[in-house]
Amino acid sequence: MRITTIGLDLAKNIFQVHGVTEDGSIAFNKPLRRARVLPFFAKLEPCLIGIEACSSAHYWGRELTALGHQVKLMPPSYVKPYVKRGKSDAADAEAICEAVTRPTMRFVEIKSAEQQALLSQHRAREVMVGQRTQLSNTTRGLLGEFGVIIPKGLDHIRRFAEDVKRDIYPDLPDVALGVIQSLCQQLLSLNVRIIELGKAIADVAKADGRIKLLQTIPGIGPNNASAIVATIGSAHQFKSGRDLAAWIGLTPLNKSNGGKERLGKISRMGDRYLRQLVVVGMSSRVRMARSHPERVDPWTLSILERKPIRLATVAMANSTAHIIWAVLTKNQPYAPRTAA
């Protein structure tokens, strides 16, 4: 009998496949080595394949789609409730196979190779920025042991590292000086690579039409717009701007019961990196509103007057997520509302 649905549990080497037929009976639940996955699916008639949206899922989604199958990716947290008992590859593959057929299941759009290439720039830059922060904190801490205090801010620690490179350094023991010189050299080298990656991201932003459209939104620059396009593409997988805001984690938690609506803090679920970029972008709008209130729209001014700064920033980020969805789905630049 024809196989209609397959649950594929991904792994590094040994994959698990669970297939069911048209009448719902189990056709197989077996392991497959990585090299046998594509030949196995090439022999099957086109069917529905469910995969958890995890590492390498988008690659396998593209490869299996090219073979004629319908591939749907699902968030792992939405698949977990369908695991009946215990934790095994066979149970996971069975749960994936069952979850992909649910009419209310939410799916993740398969990213293209170009999207993942662009996203790799952001992932690498994020890691390097974290490493630079670690080096800066370590250098400050070690210098503090000798009474040398460097003011806060990246520029101050960078200037100190450049002075050390030019043999201008405080009076330190030779052993400690060797350590500080090594840390400063690594800090400067890492800072150069971060700048180069930032320029590479900006170059891609100049060539992509969707990224240019997103930059018409206040508070969204090349770095933010590039990450948004690399992560969500055209945004057509979301039904509304609120769905996108909820996916980013900017909507309040709903704890309603007995007909009474209770909204809590923002969920902070979804893409952490994207949420961070949007909130930081809105923080820049807040700073501009303080220094140049004549350049800010009335809604932003009113919410800054009524709400604390951090709460207003998140509210602005939530509103911006709605605008991002509209700009991407309609493929039109942002047009601010004007007062009548």
- Of 207, 230, 255, the one marking the end of a domain is 207
Count of the separate structural domains present in the chain: 3
pLDDT at residue 339, rounded to an integer: 44
Provide the CATH number for the domain around residue 53: 3.30.420.10
User: Which pTM value belongs to this model?
Assistant: 0.84
In a domain, 108, yes or no: no
pLDDT at residue 340, rounded to an integer: 38
In a domain, 303, yes or no: yes
In a domain, 104, yes or no: no
* CA 281/CA 220 separation, integer angstroms: 6
pLDDT at residue 171, rounded to an integer: 87
Q: Based on the domain organization, do 225 and 292 belong to the same domain?
A: yes
pLDDT at residue 337, rounded to an integer: 65
* CA 198/CA 32 separation, integer angstroms: 41
Q: Based on the domain organization, do 199 and 236 belong to the same domain?
A: no
pLDDT at residue 261, rounded to an integer: 76
- Of 207, 223, 246, the one marking the end of a domain is 207
* CA 9/CA 90 separation, integer angstroms: 8
* CA 316/CA 299 separation, integer angstroms: 9
In a domain, 23, yes or no: yes
- Of 207, 233, 258, the one marking the end of a domain is 207
Q: Based on the domain organization, do 190 and 240 belong to the same domain?
A: no
Q: Which residue positions in the chain have pLDDT lower than 50?
A: 339-340
In a domain, 131, yes or no: yes
For 26, the domain range is 3-99
Q: Based on the domain organization, do 192 and 132 belong to the same domain?
A: yes
Q: Based on the domain organization, do 77 and 9 belong to the same domain?
A: yes
185-226 confidence digits (pLDDT tens): 999 999 999 999 999 999 988 888 999 999 999 999 999 999
Long-range contacts of 205-214 (CB under 8 A, 24+ apart): 210/234, 210/328, 210/331, 213/327, 213/328, 213/331, 213/332, 213/333, 213/334, 214/324, 214/327, 214/328
In a domain, 38, yes or no: yes
In a domain, 107, yes or no: no
Q: Based on the domain organization, do 10 and 94 belong to the same domain?
A: yes
Q: Based on the domain organization, do 272 and 175 belong to the same domain?
A: no
Q: Based on the domain organization, do 27 and 117 belong to the same domain?
A: no
Q: Based on the domain organization, do 285 and 322 belong to the same domain?
A: yes
